[in-house]
Structure 1
């Protein structure tokens, strides 16, 4: 390696890769905006371009090669960076921004190495200069370390007990101020579930698992609508169903007398069509974003969520469902169980990083179908014990009527229209069963109320 490269570790190609990705893909800047500063670019021209892009991102402006050109022109920097030709050249080198976050971390590391070299030379000179007070020389070394650790982010994660207690107390007071009948998080739409969980909590990974056809998606849509109706921005990633099919279900849930088969067949009468149109107008006001891309990786979910979070438009994430998540980009001679473990780990890290609850739907294996009551257990989670390990809560959905049972074994409730949320794991609270009611098409859900005949019979 040349002496100049040792003294000035840098990579112009990586710098252009990051800048190009930001101009080519709108989501890229959200991944690197908090990791890089313009001065971290070794090449001055690249730093000037990034400064413009970063400023546009914080201002909420659309970012592409044309808008960046206009921004640089407004700053009087367009010709300084090589004009439109250089912007086009940089952008044309990038096929996608897939690894932009990784590239940004390398650039930050190279910057820190340059700072370390420059700072170390200064401190070496101060140590050799006997006219410099030794205390000042030592102080300079400490200041250099603080500066470098700050850029690395090392110090951000270290807190004294006093700071921790101050931060914890602030959260407690926030929960007290924001508590609504004991709900400190995002409401679930089910009274008993709210009592057990106090609502969906920020930073938690919540697994909702069931066998096929039990109603995972319907349950998740109810949760999304409840959260949005309470004013929380909710992002739904639907890997299994097209967005319009989710829209059908939300419309049916928001209407009173619309037949699901009529909606599906396009045979709505005048009254039903009027209800659907009115429901559509009401639902369109809810702060819900839907991504129904057919191929979605956990990195894609995180990228989109970070972009929305930066705009204040992501309070909760729902992913339907884990086993359909694309894991090809994560493969490195790993088996399926390891891939699922990696995906759930990324989901948990995302929940903590963005400080939002993440609801991750998952399949259960067939083991429950061999039991007399077909009741699922925590061990039925499909393909990986890591799902249980990383989750803060694991809820198993169960509908006894699907298995020909007339009553639910534990409660003795009639099974028709009855759903059970089995809280199998709750890191910060109690476990137990939550009962909910639903109609035959699973488009409407709510708190379970036993039939009057059952209540009269069991009141004796």
Structure 2
């Protein structure tokens, strides 16, 4: 009998195993995508199976821990010994193309299964003692299994299944509803009423001109989410983590002078407040990644790793234009790069099923308007940002433009901020007013001054 061809790539297998040995984020990134059966080489299959088990148990994965785990299982020699584990770790310099390599291995595995299964069905069809109905059932089962492995049928649902899944979400919103908030609280009453909170799988773009307060606004949202018990991850590409810490401390204290905190001139009362606030803030579930050079793939990898531990409910990225762009295509312009990064952010929100708040810059076009109000067309460098976003909020402070009152509401501009919900795929649009202090370290619901209310009572 002719030998069956088995599609395989041992070098690719070793690259995947090696990447998982040298990068802590690699295994959480691919754990749900492939299993040990994908590896044709028995040694590679054994090592990957061991690492997968370690990942499920929350154990750290590196060369030494994997060697130790294999030895504890009595499998180190079967895995080629300590030398082979060390050798595999040197097969790659990084896990930069890990997901692409995994996709190739998965395809090769499906091809092997298709070839082997088809040969079995061919043999059965040639055997007249086998009932033809059983042969057809076997062929259908083979096709279903291969499609399930490939994932082609995962997202194809009939109306019955779709309505069942939709009803589950509706009932979950009813059960989790807290005063109309079904998602993650924003910390602003009007915004919660308009959005129901940040919703799973949504990409929310928060855009503004420089110095308007994007970061301050995002930190308020992060603190509000964490205070509600949601695990929040903040990627700060512009500002060092300790500077974010300064801002959170100022937001959590009553009368600490920002310049005193910055210059180290805190008096006894201020120092006491700062220490008490730090204890309070330390209890919040917020993770900060202030790596200076971050790509959207890095963000996704870290988020997947945290989610595997149940520690990622909300992602905030500050901000899009500072993200490291993919330089793989030399002929791609800046607008296309930003568009791709925004698209990846949306895919990440959908894949992880968490809200992603993406901060972005606006261009100067708004400064030429009489009231300097920003518009969707001002999104810097790419209209694709608007296309991929489920919601776009444009931040605006009329006082920055020497306006005594906001043009639409006529509210006095001092201490007034406006979050213009310019796009809302699943709800209404409109203006959300928020209050802020002069240093922009405290943000909250806006209440017009009594004098203004009395004057406009009629």
> What is the TM-score normalised by the length of structure 2?
0.98
Q: CA separation in 2, counterparts of 1:281 and 1:31?
A: 33
Within 1, Cα distance between the matches of 2:182 and 2:104? 39
Given the alignment of the two structures, is residue 44 of structure 1 paired with residue 35 of structure 2, yes or no?
Answer: no
Structure 2 equivalent of residue 388 of structure 1? 386
Aligned to 1:429: 427
SS, match of residue 156 in structure 1:
coil
**TM-fit CA distance, 1:379:** 0.5
Task: Report if the CA contact (8 A) 1:208-1:395 is conserved.
Answer: yes
Q: 1:329 to 1:300 in 2, by over 3 A?
A: farther
2:142 aligned residue: 144
Distance in 2 (alpha carbons) for counterparts of 1:396 and 1:326: 23
Deviation at 1:71, TM superposition (A): 1.0
2:24 is matched with which residue? 26
Bigger mean CA offset, 229-238 vs 71-80: 71-80
1:418 aligns with: 416
Q: Distance in 1 between matches of 2:238 and 2:319?
A: 7
Of 385-394 and 69-78, deviating more is 69-78
- For 2:107 and 2:31, the matched residues in 1 are separated by 15
Give the Cα–Cα distance (whole angstroms) in 1 for the partners of residues 391 and 134 of structure 2. Answer: 53
CA distance in 2, matches of 1:248, 1:439: 15
- Listed one character per residue, the Cα deviations across residues 155-197 of structure 1 (whole Å, up to 9, x for unaligned) are 2111121111111101001000000000000000100000000
1:238 match? 236
Equivalent position of 1:361 in the other structure: 359
Matched, 1:109 2:107: yes
Q: CA deviation at 1:31?
A: 1.6
Question: Is 1:99 paired with 2:94?
Answer: no
Partner of 1:249: 247
**1:290-346 CA distance string (max 9 Å, x none):** 000000000000000000001000000000000000003453521111111111110
Deviations 1:32-73 (A, max 9, x none): 111111111000010000000000001111111111111111
Partner residue, 1:404: 402
Question: Does the Cα contact within 8 Å between 1:331 and 1:339 map onto a contact in 2?
Answer: no
Match of 2:258 among 260, 279, 296: 260
Q: Is the 8 A contact 1:234 1:287 kept in 2?
A: yes
CA distance in 2 between counterparts of 1:20 and 1:333 reads 32
Secondary structure of 1:157's aligned partner: coil
- The gaps in structure 1 that reach 5 residues or longer are none
Q: Secondary structure at the match of 1:343?
A: helix
How far 1:93 sits from its partner (Å)?
Answer: 2.0
Structure 1 stretches of at least 4 aligned residues deviating more than 6 Å after TM superposition: none
Matches within 5 A, 1:432-447: 432-447=430-445
Structure 2 CA distance for aligned equivalents of residues 39 and 389 of structure 1: 40
Where does residue 216 of structure 2 map in the other structure?
A: 218
Alpha-carbon separation, structure 2, partners of 1:102 and 1:172: 36
- Equivalent positions of 1:50-65 (< 5 A) are 50-65=48-63
SS at match of 1:70: helix
**TM-superposition CA deviations, 1:230-249 (whole Å, max 9, x none):** 00000000000000000000
Question: Mapping of 1:272-311 within 5 angstroms?
Answer: 272-311=270-309
Distance 2:261 2:93 in 1: 42
Distance 2:379 2:236 in 1: 20
Query: What does the per-residue CA deviation read over 1:239-295, in whole Å, with 9 as the maximum and x for residues that have no partner?
Result: 000000000000000001100000011111111111111111110110000000000
Contact 1:28–1:100 under 8 Å retained in 2: yes
**Residues of 1 paired with 2:42 and 2:204: CA distance?**
45
User: Is the Cα contact below 8 Å between 1:126 and 1:137 reproduced in 2?
Assistant: yes
Q: Secondary structure at the match of 2:386?
A: helix
Give the root-mean-square deviation of aligned CA atoms. 1.1
Query: 1:420 touches 1:433 (CA, 8 Å); kept in 2?
Result: yes
Moved more, 325-334 or 59-68: 325-334
Measured in 2, the distance between the counterparts of 1:298 and 1:213 equals: 24
User: Normalized against structure 1, the TM-score is what?
Assistant: 0.98
Paired with 1:75 and 1:107, the residues of 2 have a C-alpha distance of 26
- Counterpart position of 2:189: 191
SS at match of 1:36: coil
Q: 1 CA distance for matches of 2:449 and 2:139?
A: 75
Aligned equivalents of 1:336 and 1:279: distance in 2?
Answer: 42
Give me the whole-angstrom Cα distance separating, in 1, the residues matched to 2:453 and 2:7.
76
| Matched position secondary structure for 2:168 | helix
| Structure 2 match to 1:167 | 165
CA distance in 1, matches of 2:156, 2:178: 33
Aligned residue for 2:53, secondary structure, equals helix
Count the aligned residue pairs. 457
Following the alignment from structure 2 to structure 1, what is the Cα–Cα distance between the partners of residues 55 and 331? 38
Which secondary structure state, in structure 1, belongs to the residue aligned with residue 154 of structure 2? Answer: helix
Task: Answer with 450-459 or 435-444: which moved more.
Answer: 450-459
